[in-house]
Amino acid sequence: MEALNAPSERKPALGFIFVTLVLLVLGFGIIIPVLPGLVTQFEGGNVAEGSDYYGLIVGVFAGMQFVASPILGSLSDRFGRRKVILIALAGTAIDYVIMGLAPNIGWMFVARMISGATAGALATCNAYIADVTPPERRAQGYGLVGAAFGLGFVVGPAVGGLLGQVSLRLPFFVAAGCVGVNWLYGAFVLPESLPAEHRRPFSWRRANPVGSLLALRRFRGVIDLAGMHFIFMCGNTMLQSIWVLYVGYRYRWTTLEVGLSLMFIGLMAAVVQGGLVKRIIAWTGERRGLVAGLVISTVIMLAYGLATRGWMIYCLAFVGAFGGIAGPAAQALITRHVPPNEQGAVQGSLSGLTSLAGIFAPIVAAWSFGKGIAADARWHLPGIAFYEASVLMLIALALAFRSFQLDDRLAAKA
């Protein structure tokens, strides 16, 4: 018991949570190249039907995450970040084992429900960052989240692609091992970041997903930024959920080639968000950084759908990585309006919005992709999901401008 309590005596720092995020994303990245293929295999190899089921599986995960994230976020405000992170990691490890052993598509749904219910690790990690960084440095802190995702995706998809050449199920067990190591790190190394004096009682009114979203209205300038965050995540989730199916169908890439493409995207994300976000945001400011990121994302999404050759994807991914500055800029702007003892609940609400995007966006993207490549389609449009994502980025940009205007008016009256 002393070993588990020892981390609370250490001083919390970004380095601790960065390692947690890298290990968590590494496990997630390992299964990305093979999950769509395993689902399609359950459907007899039919890509169009497999894409529909894949979209539903991703949507089920997001639905459970939508319900559970605000609960876990509020629990972290009451009991501390570290305990919630440990619970979430345990659920994720169990999920990967079940998927690796799944005999049919039904068990895949069961596994994703378990993982979604304990998927509060990322929201709690975001709250951890808000705990240990001052407001003026939070964009840099949230850039480290993107860098952790990048590093995890540099190694994860490449390993998953290689292991998938041996067996489509092997990557799931390796991912479970990565998350198991992460749990041990959290249990014996990760310190608690939320002091006892900043904790608050748990409330079901704030913890239920609808109540947590409505509670965002209490914070000046947050509600429009939260809406922008939701639309932005819808667009990004469409790209993520359809990527493997799209490049496999359009460019005939193998699991290894898919893994290498994701590795390159992860490397670029690590470089931009881990090394350049601080300098870019310092130069542009959080508002202009958010606008620049959304504009880049709008153009790149459209270009992905139009790309006719596989090599073009790498050029677009290089430029598109700079669109990633939108996420840290938005997170930093939101946290400026939230007190320390409510960061967990607000991050849980934002994670809930991300989950809500994950319910609908993958289903829409997979359905659109399936219709776009169907034999009886009037127009052959394999890139249609990317065109839809580009439109969503434009809507997110409009919401960002509206939030700036409202915030300025309220500030002028204060």
> For residue 256, is it within any domain?
yes
Q: Of residues 352 and 109, which shows the higher confidence score? A: 109
Query: What is the model's pTM?
Result: 0.66
How would residue 3 be classed by pLDDT, with cut points 50, 70 and 90?
very low
**Structural domain boundaries enclosing 57:** 14-190+217-409
Alpha carbons 64 and 340: distance in angstroms, whole number: 27
Axis crossing angle, helix 35-42 with helix 222-250, rounded to the nearest 10: 60
- Single-letter residue type at 358: G
Among residues 90, 42, 51, the alpha carbon closest in space to that of 242 is found at: 51
> For residue 51, is it within any domain?
yes
**Three-point CA angle 296, 301, 304, nearest 5°:** 125
Q: Which residues contact 316 (CB under 8 A, 6 or more apart)?
A: 300, 303, 304, 307
> For residue 350, is it within any domain?
yes
The answer to whether residue 259 scores a pLDDT higher than 80 is no
Q: What is the CATH number of the domain that holds 349?
A: 1.20.1250.20
| pLDDT at residue 290, rounded to an integer | 93
Alpha carbons 180 and 19: distance in angstroms, whole number: 14
- pLDDT tens sequence across 144-158: 776 777 777 677 877
Q: Calculate the alpha carbon distances from 9 to 4, 88, 129, 191 in Å.
A: 11, 22, 18, 7
| pLDDT at residue 295, rounded to an integer | 96
> For residue 59, is it within any domain?
yes
Q: What's the mean pLDDT in 205-217?
A: 66
| pLDDT at residue 389, rounded to an integer | 94
How would residue 205 be classed by pLDDT, with cut points 50, 70 and 90?
low
Alpha carbons 329 and 331: distance in angstroms, whole number: 6
| pLDDT at residue 304, rounded to an integer | 95
> For residue 414, is it within any domain?
no
> For residue 7, is it within any domain?
no
65: left (phi over 0), alpha (psi -120 to 50) or beta: alpha
Report for 6-15, 28-37, 103-112: range of highest mean pLDDT: 103-112
Among residues 131, 23, 137, the alpha carbon closest in space to that of 73 is found at: 131
Look up residue 154 and give its two tokens.
Answer: 């540099």
Q: What's the mean pLDDT in 64-68?
A: 78
Burial 207-231 (b: 16+ CB within 10 A, else e): bbbebbbebbeebebbbbbbbbbbb
> For residue 208, is it within any domain?
no
Our count of domains for the chain comes to 1
How would residue 103 be classed by pLDDT, with cut points 50, 70 and 90?
confident
C-beta of residue 256 within 8 angstroms of C-beta of residue 146: no
Among residues 100, 67, 29, 15, the alpha carbon closest in space to that of 269 is found at: 29
> For residue 9, is it within any domain?
no
The answer to whether residue 266 scores a pLDDT higher than 50 is yes
- Please state, rounded to an integer, the average pLDDT across all residues of the chain: 81
Among residues 301, 293, 296, the alpha carbon closest in space to that of 365 is found at: 301
DSSP conformational letter for 45: T
Alpha carbons 32 and 298: distance in angstroms, whole number: 24
- Single-letter residue type at 12: P
Alpha carbons 389 and 130: distance in angstroms, whole number: 29
Q: Of residues 307 and 53, which shows the higher confidence score? A: 307
Neighbours of 12 (CB within 10 A): 21
Among residues 233, 227, 243, the alpha carbon closest in space to that of 365 is found at: 243
Q: Name the strand (E) or helix (H) holding 35.
A: helix 35-42
